[in-house]
Structure 1
Amino acid sequence: MAKEERFEKIYSQGALTTTEIWVDKETGVNYLYHACGYSGGLTPLLDRDGKPVISQAINR
């Protein structure tokens, strides 16, 4: 039986420079991932009030 993946990519744009949004299926927290060349970073996606963007959790 295959193990269920915890994160799901819901958005992607770019080729050489990549921007993606990933959702934690257990908590619903959205993360912004940006990569350019050999570097990249991941951070929680925040709303205008500085709170994490939370989608409805998929695997609860």
Structure 2
Amino acid sequence: MGKDKRFQVIYTQGVADATRVLLDTKTGMLYLEMHDGYAGGITPLLDSDGKPMKWRAEDWE
């Protein structure tokens, strides 16, 4: 695998039962990832209109 990582963690909460927001650096899309023990899932984040959210730095300051 190359040096550049496609996904970056931009927010994390929790340890054993973790919630993270991931940024796809190629598309700018944001994803919510959750896991608890051996269970987990990932889904795209949606705005109030139901459209996929794109990265905007000012939203996370």
What TM-score, normalized by structure 2, do the two folds share?
Answer: 0.83
Question: Aligned partners of 1:29, 1:42: CA distance in 2, in Å?
Answer: 13
How far is the alpha carbon of 1:3 from its aligned partner? Answer: 2.5
How many pairs were matched up?
55
Relative contact order, CA 8 A, sep 6+: which one is greater? 1
| Aligned equivalent of 2:59 | none
The letter of the residue matching 1:20 is R
Question: Unaligned 5+ residue runs, structure 2?
Answer: 57-61
Residue 24 (structure 1) aligns with = 24
CA deviations 1:14-53 (Å, max 9, x no partner) are 0111000000001000000000110100000111111111
Instruction: State how far apart, in whole Å, the 2-side matches of 1:16 and 1:3 are.
Output: 28
Name the SS for the 1:51 alignment partner.
Answer: coil
Structure 1 stretches of at least 4 aligned residues deviating more than 2 Å after TM superposition: none
